[in-house]
Structure formats: structure tokens, C-alpha cells
Amino acid sequence: MRERAEDPERTACALRAAEAGAEVAAASFRGDVAIETKAEKTDVVTQIDRDAQERIVSVIREAYPDDVVVGEEDEEAGTVPDDGPSWIVDPIDGTNNYVRGSRLWTTSVAATVDGEAVAGATVCPALGDTYLFDGEDATLNGEPMSVSERTDPETFTVALAIWWGFDRRDEYLASCRGVIDRFGDMRRTGSTQLELAMCAAGAVEGVVTNVEANPWDTVVGMALVEAAGGQVTDIEGDPWRHDSRGIVASNGEAHDAVLAAAREGELAR
């Protein structure tokens, strides 16, 4: 596990910002929301996403006016800098769930310094849960949390994260098979930040994908998993970074089996 240190001021700001964005999103949840599509039919966005992000950024700017902000709904999202401070914002992770009235969505805000997460918050207003990473520890609704203690892969539940486009369904199928062949059960929530938070809290033993994920979908969650005692790597088994390809998060027990499941999708490329 990498060395981390608490950063109370950035932790407090991440939480304030995530709560503010979540409040904007929650106010229109299950309301009459116009839906737009991005590159694919299943990649949707709403004005609420943009409004929530604007509110999040305004909270960050009040405290850190000069920091870089990388947000999903920016016209030019940019990249997370490897030098200096930055913020990574996802106003609604799981917009497809949000517009369908499903409670499985989050508002997530991460603070990084030199490309490493130093604080982060994932707020789930429809579920009543708040996950917080303070640079050192992970909590759920203010209580310390830890990954599952299960050691037998046949008792594991592993979630599939991100999305395989219609031109990559062979990888999707292979990933499903990789999980089904090795573990007791499989989950797919439609919100990667929520799945990673669930792994940190012990609700699932692993989260996998071979797809390259965006930092706003991953940074808070991967930090939560590590802080809660789990293990995170990329698809090659190397230490995970915000620009890594693939997600392999586990409770640290039988991580090699979780990695092997993730690589099934990779082998089908």
C-alpha cells in the first residue's frame, strides 16, 4: 500500500463540494429531466449534470481558486497533472441510472497532489451514504470501514465496471465468463464509483474491467479501496494510477484471481 498523509483542509473541501453537487442533482432526481446522448446511445448527459458540476466547481474555487479542476462535463475535460494540486469532479456517476429513477448514482470529488489522491468524497444522496477518504483512512457515514475478510474466491462477489461498447462485446462476454468461472457471484451497478466504494466497505470482494477508465470514474473509489485495506492494480498487475488502463480492485485476498478474471476481457481484444 502506498504511503499517504491526511490533508484535513482538502478533505473538508472535497466533502463540501460533493455534498453541494449532490444536493443539486438530488433536487431533480425522478423529475422531468431532458436527456442528451454523447458518443454512444447509452452514454447520456443532462443539464443537471452540468448544473451540479458548476456548483461543485464554485465550492472548490472558493477555497482553491488557482487549482486545476478536471470535470467530466467540461467541453475539454483535460488530464490530471502529475505536478501540483488538482481536483477531479464527477457530478453524477451513473447518469443512466439517474435518468431511469434508480438510486444507484453518486457525486464524487477527488483532490490530488502530484497525481496522487490526497482526499475524496463519494456522496450517494438517494441511498443516504457518504464515503470519505481523508488521505489516510476511509469512512462510511463517519464510521471506519474495511474491505471484506473473505479468503475463498468461491464465496467472492465481483463487480464489472465501466462499459464495453457494442464493438467490444466479445470483451464484455469474456469478462463476465472470467468472473462467473472463478467466483461465487457477479454484480453490475452502472456506477463505477459506487462499486469501488462497495468494495472498500466489504459489500463486494472485487471490481474489474480491462477498459481504460476516466479519472472522474475511479480516483476516489480506488483511494477508498486502498485506504480500507484492499489492493488496486492495473490490468497488467502494476500499481494503479489515474491514467492506468483497466481496473483491478480487490480486498487483497486472492488478488491474483481477480486480476486473472479482469484479463479474460483483455485476452478477447
Q: Evaluate whether the domain defined by 8-144 bears CATH number 3.40.50.300.
A: no
Cα 23 to the center of its chain, rounded Å: 19
CA–CA dist 151, 226 (Å, integer) = 17
**What mean pLDDT is predicted for residues 62-79?**
84
Mean pLDDT computed over every residue of the chain:
94
* Whether the predicted pLDDT of 21 surpasses 90: yes
Residues 137-194: tens digit of each pLDDT: 999 999 999 999 999 999 999 999 998 999 999 999 999 999 999 999 999 999 999 9
Residues 6+ apart with CB under 8 A from 235: 210, 244, 245, 246, 248, 259, 262, 263, 266
Counting residues of the chain whose pLDDT is more than 70, the rounded percentage is 97
Give 10's pLDDT tier (boundaries 50, 70, 90): very high
3-state secondary structure of 208: strand
* Whether the predicted pLDDT of 132 surpasses 50: yes
CA–CA dist 174, 182 (Å, integer) = 12
- Residue 231's H or E segment, with its range, is strand 231-233
* Whether the predicted pLDDT of 73 surpasses 70: yes
Question: In this structure, what DSSP letter does residue 84 have?
Answer: S
- What pLDDT sits at residue 136? 96
Residues 93-105: tens digit of each pLDDT: 999 999 999 999 9
* Whether the predicted pLDDT of 121 surpasses 60: yes
Q: Which three cell numbers stand for residue 130?
A: 457518504
CA–CA dist 4, 18 (Å, integer) = 22
CA–CA dist 67, 56 (Å, integer) = 13
Give 77's pLDDT tier (boundaries 50, 70, 90): low
Residues of the chain within CATH 3.30.540.10 domain(s) are: 8-144
Residues of the chain within CATH 3.40.190.80 domain(s) are: 153-267
**What mean pLDDT is predicted for residues 254-258?**
97
**What mean pLDDT is predicted for residues 71-80?**
74
CA–CA dist 89, 68 (Å, integer) = 11
CA–CA dist 66, 75 (Å, integer) = 19
**pTM of the shown model:** 0.95
- What pLDDT sits at residue 76? 47
**What CATH code would you report for 153-267?**
3.40.190.80
